[in-house]
Amino acid sequence: MTSPLQQKLKITGPVVVTANRLGDGAVVYRSGDGSWTEELAAAAVVTTTPAAMELLTAALSDKLRAVDAYVAPVELTPHQQVLPGNLRERIRFNGPTVALPGES
Amino acid sequence: MYIYDEFDRTLVDERVREFRDQVARRLSGELTEEEFKPLRLMNGVYLQLHAYMLRIAIPYGTLSSDQMRMLAHVARRYDRGYGHFTTRQNIQFNWIKLEELPDAMADLARAGLHGMQTSGNCVRNITTDQWAGVAPDEIEDPRIWAELLRQHLTLHPEFSFLPRKFKIALTASAHDRAAVKIHDIGLRMYRNGAGETGFEVTVGGGLGRTPFLGKTIKPFLPKRDLLSYVEAIMRTYNQYGRRDNIYKARIKILVHELGAEKFAREVEEEWHSIKDGALALDPAVVADIAARFHYPDYEELADNPPELAKAREGERFRTWLANSVSNHKVSGRAIVTLSLKPEGGPPGDATAAQMDAIAELADRYSHGEIRVGHEQNLALPHVAQRDLPALRRALDEIGVATPNVNLISDIIACPGLDYCSLANARSIPVAQEITRRFRNLDVARDLGRLHINISGCINACGHHHIGHIGILGVEKNGEEYYQVTIGGRADERAELGTILGPAVPYGEIADVVEDIAAAYLELRARPDELFIDTVKRVGVDPFKERVYAAR
Amino acid sequence: MPLVKAGHIVEDRFVRVLDDAPVPEGAAVILPAARLLADARELVLRQAPTGVIWPNDRKVAELAPYLDWISLVALVFPNFRDGRAYSQARLLRERYAFRGELRATGQVLRDQLLFLQRAGFDGFEVTKEADGAAFAEAVRRYSVFYQPAADGRASTLTARRARGASGAVPSRREHVAG
């Protein structure tokens, strides 16, 4: 998908801020208390552009723990479960869609 | 293969130490990501979707068995037990942690391996024919010249911050297995009318958003002038390549905008000032490098030994022999290609167990040497013909003896959206599905030599422009779509493919490939007319009609 | 920005003169390129050192007529990834035999210091104080160099040849022609 790092901010649904952890490159999400979590369920979900900008700005200024933060869409199920909002984010969250070599 | 001396070893060790310091300064915050990123790229460290990716150089595709064992060790110790061989004769590990990278680099350095300049705006891994040194049709081993260039351009103080990446390839055979025409600099070794060996120099080849084939700017360059002439090209590019737009920063754009003739004149003018200076290649300097190239002490053997004749009675052996084994310049020997394209597998991947097993087989059957090709297969370059039956059985046991080399299921693919943060669409599952559709080897053999190249985005790491069938992943409304081209070629008759028709969705791409194959069977003049020649003869329209008739 | 020369942070004796400002008498000055070219005839008579700051998108060949009397050329790295001034530096040292101070300005960071020195720079307006303090360490990171450059350090081209002859690695400097 077009790299989200180049997109203009235009919030049309629920979003989170995501990045890669500096030390190991793992996919992480910004949570409400300013920490980073690997659990999408614990991520701060916002629905307006100003809220997204605020979350993103805070994330970007945290240069030490996470790299290349950006705003990513999520999907909220009827039971308020948070799911990745597009294929790229599904792959980032779940891993490659293909079995890794050596796995059956 | 080239054996490091103490200078080479020291340089790599010093590089590891420098990188360890740089990583520490990044982790402490002393270096910002913006300051660190070009430094880590120059060590082959990318940040991808799931983790850091480490790209290790395999200079001109030559690997020792000890080096292969070290790659297996890195895969096990620092990664998830496998690696991916790339279209530029490198290997990639997809799950590396930044914190562990200095230790991984230190381990690799013990085997003379590194990630220097496998990314970044500098000169990348210099590639050549994976059969260099053993191909019957080569005039001399291009790897010596590749090594001279590699050293000259490693940590070159003037050319480490170029406008963009820079890729060089060499060939020394009439049949170009290194795709030199799609490189920033292509060097074709040949013998001129006077019997002298030199280089035809092409510049400005490259794929991506604006694909170009390289243009000849120097029809014959004597060997003595190789370093100085390349220096002149690099200096011209460094000064005049565009810095304002990353999509226009490759040398191919500069050559296109100036025109090949004007560009050649600029280079010539610069070159005249330096051609007789310190970079003029003294035969003693060349001899010194050549002296550290190790060639096997071949036992004298005859072609077609009795073991071979006997084994030919078996159908599986015969099939594999005809497909995966090629002639060697020394009698009694053969070059064996190991297919990393099993049915349903991700193209170009090998597990740590496979790497160890291949290293073992290289020791036993190939004088400890392995090759990596840009088609993402491996080769054992020094096999005795009498060992072929035993070798085939061993290769089959580790899953690298699928006799599909150069056939439709021998697919070249980038990692795509499953791994890569630049991608628009996935490429691996597309490749896997195609290999399933064409699992029947009789069908694949009937289709003959047919190269499919898949890229997950316009950066074209899968080299789709030069595939007989090229597949490019694009995004439409958040969905994966694929644009198909046909008629591309990577060799000495290099050509860019032609778009077949509108992009098709993920669910249909394998069907399209089947339809193209069916169209070829219908359109070919004879069973032995290759797909690429049929396309050349009839053009793209008959294919387009058949493929898009029902779409 | 701290200035590093001969491995240490030093006082900058040169004063930057902006486009139309008067050139102070008796002071070492760095002038913009246009100023040098326009006023060369007067400037050559100055009793104090004159330097120029040269943009990275202009041929250094234009400076050739002045190189025998100007004391300093400052080249520019608008950001550290823009490497044009490396070529300019080498040309000034190796083609035009410039012997005055060659100064790196703009975004000048620790991890480029050795490349800069190899390209011929001997003055460094480092962006970070800490990088200035680490200069000596930064330029000693490597002892092996594959290619000759403007700094005169022996490359493997010559070191290996000498080793072959005598078995010992020489420490002599080599000259790069052209």
Contact C157 B121 (CB under 8 A): no
Contact B278 C149 (CB under 8 A): no
pLDDT of res. C110: 96
pLDDT of res. B258: 96
Q: What is the Cα–Cα distance from B376 to B469, expressed in whole angstroms?
A: 17
Residues C6-15: tens digit of each pLDDT: 999 999 999 9
Residue range B306-397 in CATH 3.30.200.20: no
On whether the CB atoms of residues B140 and B173 are closer than 8 A, the answer is no
Q: Does C178 or B393 have the greater pLDDT score?
A: B393
Residue in B27, B32, B50 closest to A95 by CB: B50
Residue in C118, C145, C178 closest to B273 by CB: C178
User: Helix (H, G, I), strand (E, B), or coil: what is residue B350?
Assistant: strand
Best B30, B40, B41, B50 member to test A by mutation, with max A CBs in 10 Å, is: B50
On whether the CB atoms of residues C139 and C114 are closer than 8 A, the answer is yes
Residues C20-58: tens digit of each pLDDT: 899 999 999 999 999 999 999 999 999 999 999 999 999
Q: Does C140 touch chain B (CB under 8 A)?
A: no
CB-based touch C/A (3+ pairs, under 8 A) = no
Residue of C nearest to B244 (CA): C82
Contact A24 B98 (CB under 8 A): yes
Residues C115-130: tens digit of each pLDDT: 999 999 999 999 999 9
Whole-model pTM: value is 0.95
Q: Does B156 touch chain C (CB under 8 A)?
A: yes
- Measure in Å the smallest separation between the Cα of B236 and chain C Cα atoms: 9
Give the right CATH number for B412-548 from 3.40.390.10, 3.30.70.20, 3.30.413.10, 3.40.50.620: 3.30.413.10
On whether the CB atoms of residues B63 and B371 are closer than 8 A, the answer is yes
Query: At a CB cut-off of 8 Å and minimum separation 6, what does B28 contact?
Result: none
- Phi and psi of B338, rounded to 5°? -100, 120
CB < 8 Å to B81, chain A? 100-102
Place domain C3-141 in its CATH homologous superfamily.
Answer: Aldolase class I (3.20.20.70)
Q: Does B282 touch chain C (CB under 8 A)?
A: yes
pLDDT of res. B457: 97
Contact C83 B155 (CB under 8 A): no
pLDDT of res. A3: 52
Partners of B64 in the beta sheet? B369
Contact B80 A20 (CB under 8 A): no
Domain extent listing, chain A: 10-93
Residue of A nearest to B26 (CA): A64
Q: Does B477 touch chain A (CB under 8 A)?
A: no
- Measure in Å the smallest separation between the Cα of B129 and chain C Cα atoms: 24
Same fold, B142-291 and B412-548: yes
3-state secondary structure chain A: CCCHHHCCCCCCCCEEEEEEECCCCCEEEECCCCCEECCHHHCCCECCHHHHHHHHHHHHHCCCCEEEEEEEEEEECCCCCEEECCHHHHHHHHCCCCCCCCCC
Residue of B nearest to C152 (CA): B278
Ranges of residues in chain B with a pLDDT under 70 are: none
pLDDT of res. A5: 53
Q: Does C144 touch chain B (CB under 8 A)?
A: yes
| Burial (0-12, 13-18, 19+ Cβ within 10 Å), B297 | exposed
Which chains pack against C, by 3+ Cβ pairs within 8 A?
Answer: B
CB < 8 Å to A68, chain B? 33, 47
Which chains pack against B, by 3+ Cβ pairs within 8 A?
Answer: A, C
Q: Does A63 touch chain B (CB under 8 A)?
A: yes
Alpha-carbon torsion, ordered B218, B221, B226, B232, to 10 deg = -30
Residues in chain A, how many?
A: 104
On whether the CB atoms of residues B424 and B475 are closer than 8 A, the answer is yes
Residue in B346, B422, B480 closest to A101 by CB: B346
Contact C80 B161 (CB under 8 A): yes
Residue in C87, C109, C155 closest to B35 by CB: C109
pLDDT of res. B461: 96
Evaluate if residue C147 carries a pLDDT over 50.
yes
Count residue pairs from A and B with Cβ separation < 8 A: 83
Contact B38 C147 (CB under 8 A): no
Buried b / exposed e along C96-131 (16+ C-beta atoms within 10 A): eebebbbbbbbbbbbbbbbbbbbbbbbbbbbbbeeb
Residues A28-83: tens digit of each pLDDT: 999 999 999 999 999 999 999 999 999 999 999 887 899 999 999 999 999 989 99
Q: Which residue do the tokens 């130490």 mark?
A: B17
Best B417, B432, B458 member to test A by mutation, with max A CBs in 10 Å, is: B417
pLDDT of res. C177: 30
Residue in B32, B82, B478 closest to A100 by CB: B82
CB < 8 Å to A101, chain B? 81-82, 345-346, 349-351
pLDDT band at A103 (very low <50, low <70, confident <90, very high): low
State the sign of the Cα–Cα–Cα–Cα dihedral B47, B49, B51, B54. Answer: negative
Confirm whether the ipTM is greater than 0.90.
Answer: yes
CB < 8 Å to B352, chain A? 102
Please give the radius of gyration of chain C, using alpha carbons only, rounded to the nearest integer: 17
pLDDT of res. B251: 98
Please give the radius of gyration of chain B, using alpha carbons only, rounded to the nearest integer: 23
- Measure in Å the smallest separation between the Cα of A58 and chain B Cα atoms: 16
Evaluate if residue C165 carries a pLDDT over 80.
no
pLDDT of res. C20: 85
Domain extent listing, chain B: 6-110, 142-291, 306-397, 412-548
Residue range B6-110 in CATH 3.90.480.20: yes
Beta strand B45-47 pairing with A82-84: unpaired
Contact C161 B238 (CB under 8 A): no
CATH code of B142-291, in short, is 3.30.413.10
Q: What is the Cα–Cα distance from A29 to A31, expressed in whole angstroms?
A: 6
- Measure in Å the smallest separation between the Cα of B149 and chain C Cα atoms: 10
- Average pLDDT over every residue of C161-165: 73
Evaluate if residue C102 carries a pLDDT over 90.
yes
Domain extent listing, chain C: 3-141, 144-178
